[in-house]
Amino acid sequence: MAVISLSSCNDDDLKNTATISAKKITLSKDRSIGVAVTYSDSAYVKAIGFAPILDKVTPSVGAIYNEMPKGVKIEFFDKFFKKTGTITSNYAIQKQTEKITIFRKNVIVVSDNITFTTEELTWDENKRMYYSPYGTVTTKDGDVITGTEFFAPQDFSTYEIIDAAGTTSIKGDLTQ
């Protein structure tokens, strides 16, 4: 059994096709493999970023951006080159014009004070802040705090959680 389908188009359909194809955006990618990027300030290494794949994407319309489709790991250092923390994620995109980097999928931040986990974390370079729509903080003491919004300065020295809930351990005698 054979099925034959015939279709036709009129002039209006051809005009719509021309309009749609005129709006087509092309992307060009420059791919680098095994990338390590060092960020320094005043001759001090502040961070080193590692990505198995880094794509520099240049759209025909819009701003250039960097994409790390296989994830990223960033190590942070103090002025004595002692590691102070890390960020890892399974995907990241850096929007150079907006000066923001968005980490997605299995995002884990480890600092001297906390471990923060989420599925999306944004670093705003202009504000020198990190923020996330949700996540979980685990403190060194084992306290676990979840919330709907997370904010921290870029050194993660402090943090703020909106609509926080969690568990904590109380030390000492509660009967006195």
Residue 160, C-beta contacts closer than 8 angstroms, at least 6 positions apart: 149, 150, 151, 152
DSSP 8-state secondary structure symbol assigned to residue 168: -
**Identity of the residue numbered 149:** E
Cα 147 to the center of its chain, rounded Å: 18
- In order of their start, the domains of the chain are 26-167 (2.60.450.10)
How far is the C-alpha of 113 from the C-alpha of 27, rounded, in Å?
A: 41
Least Cα distance to 75 among 111, 102, 41, 104 occurs for 111
pTM across the whole model = 0.76
Q: pLDDT tens track of the chain, all 176 residues?
A: 444 444 445 555 555 555 445 566 676 777 889 989 888 888 888 889 999 999 888 877 778 888 899 999 999 988 888 998 999 999 999 998 899 999 999 999 998 888 999 999 999 999 999 999 998 988 888 889 888 889 988 888 888 888 888 887 777 666 66
Provide the percentage of residues in the chain whose pLDDT is more than 70: 81
Q: What pLDDT, on the 0 to 100 scale, is given for residue 132?
A: 92
Q: How far is CA 77 from the centre of its chain?
A: 19
